Amino acid sequence: MTFAANFANNPRVTQNPANPDLDALDQRILAALQRNCRLTLAELSDEVGLSQSPCLRRWRRLEEEGYITGYTAQVDRRKLGRKMMALVEIKLGIHSDDAIEKFERAVSQAPQVQECFLMTGQRDYMLRVLVDDLEDYDAFVKTVLRPVGNITSMETAFALREVEMRRAPGPAPTRRARS
């Protein structure tokens, strides 16, 4: 069971220690919607144990306060032909604002790039890229990355299989008090 599920189903927990503005009912609402965002208000109310009016108020507040940022369908990338996932580490040669903006603009416009992270450590960026095959990846490198012109090193690893893919984050784990 995930931390989110443990937290949401624990009647002794009334508040999220990482965010005191979320109580156990809010957390149960978030967990239920993460499992199935197509729940009706009646179904959600039943699942979290609230009548519909207070459940709707909480749901709307969670949206208004930005805890819920959208609702999406989870699509099987393989059925769309995107059979390969590459994790690409990139180091830039120049770190000026213009150079960074050029790189970030190029990758944000590339449909193959699912995620891009600015990193600490030896590399500057980590990309999660979905492609059909090695030939498609080669075309991505030639048409998207090389034209940026500021990449001094690039290391790519291809995922053999997905072991765990969480699409919904749970709350932060509780922190232990320091002795």
- Shared-domain flag, residues 124 and 86: yes
- Shared-domain flag, residues 86 and 59: no
Domain end marker among 35, 64, 93: 64
Residues 119 and 126: their CA atoms lie apart, in Å, by: 7
Q: Provide the residue-wise pLDDT of the chain in tens; the chain has 179 residues.
A: 444 444 445 444 455 556 667 888 999 999 999 889 999 999 999 999 999 999 999 999 999 999 999 988 777 778 887 789 999 999 999 999 999 999 999 999 999 999 999 999 999 999 999 999 999 999 999 999 999 989 999 999 999 988 876 665 655 554 444 55
- Shared-domain flag, residues 92 and 127: yes
CATH assignment at residue 16: 1.10.10.10
Per residue in 101-129, pLDDT (tens digit) is 999 999 999 999 999 999 999 999 999 99
Any idea what DSSP says for residue 65? T
Q: Is residue 178 part of a domain?
A: no
Residues 87 and 21: their CA atoms lie apart, in Å, by: 36
Residues 59 and 178: their CA atoms lie apart, in Å, by: 35
- Shared-domain flag, residues 109 and 138: yes
Give the count of domains, the chain: 2
Candidates 107, 92, 95, 100; CA nearest to 152 is 92
Distant-in-sequence, close-in-space partners of 105: CB < 8 Å, separation ≥ 6: none
Q: Is residue 12 part of a domain?
A: yes
Distances (CA, A) of 62 to 65, 72, 82, 114: 5, 16, 34, 26
Q: Is residue 59 part of a domain?
A: yes
Distant-in-sequence, close-in-space partners of 148: CB < 8 Å, separation ≥ 6: 102, 103, 106
Q: Is residue 167 part of a domain?
A: no
CATH assignment at residue 98: 3.30.70.920
State both tokens at 109.
Answer: 């416009």
- Shared-domain flag, residues 55 and 81: no
Residue range of the domain that includes 18: 3-64
